[in-house]
Structure 1
Amino acid sequence: MLKQQLRAISSLLSSITLIGICVGMTSTLLSLRATIEGFGTLTTGVIMSAYFIGYLFGTTRAPKDIRRVGYIRAFGGLAALAAASILIQAIWVDPIVWFVMRFLTGFAISAIFVIVESWLNTMADNKSRGTLLSIYLVLIYGGLVAGQLILGVADPAGFLAFAIVALLINLALIPILISVTVEPTTHEPKKVPIRDLLKLVPLGIVNSFIMQACYAMFYGIGPMYATYIGLSVAQVSLFMAAFIFGGMLAQAPIGLLSDRYDRRLIMAVNAGLGAFMAFILSQMTATEAWLIYLCVGLLGACILPLYSLGMAHTNDFLEKDQMVGATGAIIKVGGLGSIIGAPAVAALMQFGAVDFFFLLIMALTTVVCLYSLYRVTRRAKADDQLGASYAMLSPAQTSDELLTSLVTEHEYRAEQQQEQEDVVAQPESDATR
């Protein structure tokens, strides 16, 4: 059964791997090119935040538009929009133009993930969904790492790197457009106010805001910081790839631990170790390149799983009919953190505080560590964590959890309806005997 499902979704997996490579290349490419063009750290930070603004709009608005035109046509249009926005940034090097194009890229990419993940979830069943999602996310991580490595051999000052990204996005169209899979449908989630979540599970909200801010800092300003300390373009690519690779390796083991022990303690340990690694990195220079790769990989292993841990912890204390709305609220909070994160650290670096890059990440992860420990003293562990088991999330792609939750709600409603039908049918069955 699993082999048949993998064969059926092979086109989706091929497309999303190519998209992952493009996402991995683009943020680093633009950060390096902005440095070369002399945009300044604050301007670059604002430009990078435009991607997350667009991403937030895409995950909330795009599903409604997709239902009007269909998934395949929407995918084609969005891919064309993403490719065009990348090429325009290569042709027209201007901060305002880049801000607008970065917004459009974020919108298009987030909507593409919504399409692919909806499609993937409809092809899976309860027995195979976890395995298929794991394969899907590993491919995304692999694409992100590959994108960094490809960028290491393409000059960010030229047109070639931008052309490669646009070419790969267009190649990602082919598997989807020739697919014969029936288009999926989505369901409107029940809203849960953020203020209600703050009262019920405050750690989930705080963790989402802070960690998405940290991710935005690293992906948006990390390449610029690496350049400032003296790393070459190839070394910057390895620097970024090590962070993602470390997170990819750590996701599953940390997830298993969080399902067995109190998630808040696992979050506290991860955040504490992440703060320690950030402090170590703040003291390093380009003369210790390989040691930097090792430490930044350990940093990724510590902090990349934290968003997923926080999402799972939140769901531990919710009813099934609350999970979808709560996920949407957390996505919005995380989106705000992403929008603020890159400009905040860029503003510090603009005024000469280059060392504040990792020190600010250290401070934020320390807050998560201390607040997680505080929450342990204020509330008992959830009775059953299996109802909201840990799920890996790809970096800066919060729509993964949203789509999984949408399918969970749909299945739950279907089960409830089936139970009601069985109850109604039972007397009829007894009467016929």
Structure 2
Amino acid sequence: MGRLLSPHRSKPNMTVSYSLEVANARFGGFSKLLFRWRGSIYRLLYKEFLLFCGIYAFFSMFYRFLLTPTQQELFERIALYCDQFTNTSFIPVSFVLGFYVTLAFNRWWGQYTSFPLPDNLMMAVSGNVHGFMTSHELKKFQSLHSDFNKYWIPLTWFANLASKARKEGRIRDDVALRLLMDELNNYRAKCSLLFHYDWISIPLVYTQVVTVAVYSFFGFCLIGRQFLNPEKGYKDHTVDMYVPVFTLLQFFFYSGWLKVGELIINPFGEDDDDFETNQLIDRNIQVSMLAVDDMYQNLPLAVKDKHWLQGNFSIPYTISTAAESLKPAFKGSTYNMTMSAEDFKMDQHVDGPLTTQHIPLRSYPSDAAENLPEGQGVLWRGSLPLLNDCSSSTDEEGCIHAYGNDVCVLSLGKCDDEVWSQREQEETMTQAAGENMSSQQAG
């Protein structure tokens, strides 16, 4: 893979990072970021902003000092006409601009996540594949003709070499070969996706629509937002402020929004916040060579750690975070929920065989079985994974079926011996039929 340094760039830019400055929410946290220049919207927009201010000042001076009264009246009519379009939703700048920047941002992040990293592949190879192309391989690569991009050819060589290595026994089993091929396919898929991001751009017509919408809006603002003579009594022109503060802010927001879309639509350029492609390539090569060459079979001595004989131990805390270890662990929002006896009352119409009711509860009176009305059921000290049918033992008074600390109360009045006898017969017949089928299959 070739280097991506531009001949006119003296040193590589670094992506602007401010994660440490916003690690904690505090008063004026974001305000400190407003005074940065590198990577800021000021650096990106100041030329367009100064141009807009200059053109606006020109029309203002032209209206005030160079026009005759008749010409001023005509200019004022034009200004009022333009102003009615800038103060309405006639030009949907917010809609088209917001949707465009969202689309560009998703594309920008998708390109970063598509950047192929060899980490998983190098871990799977573990010392048998080298990253640089030899001169012989380069000649072979150049001799292969294709009308399309040929980035996939070395990956095909890798797949063939992996298959050959498996036949020669240098790859221990098919599982390892499958792991290599899966990681290779993931790597190739990211290369392909990145290539398609470069090939397929956001439709040009959409970029043109957004640009024309923003520029035409502020083109009308240059005339329509002029301060007219307040003595003539025009609506909303009672004060002559000379400097259109809110119009300039509006230009800063909308044009800055458009500049953000322009910045992130292709993150492989030389803007302050573009991806550090060279650094990523250097990192990939260095980490790959370190993993497959220097670290191959170069393992640290395996020794018992200092907590080897300790059943329970705690990790060290700093003084400022020691109090965190005293806080109870979160066990669920309903972990300490209690319910009264009234909450257990349920309407259950029993027309068929015996059924069970399961209700999770952390604490329930020990005499629950004695006071349980007919047609209700309780799971005492239970949990959701233990909500299964109670099919263990039963007492004659309350039909209680116990599983250690978990108790299911079955209630249909008193336990009916005929019902239990019928269920036992059904289970016996089902078990016998299963054994008979197994024996037939074995025969």
TM-score by length of 1: 0.22
Which has more helix, going by share of residues? 1
Which of 1 and 2 has greater Rg? 2
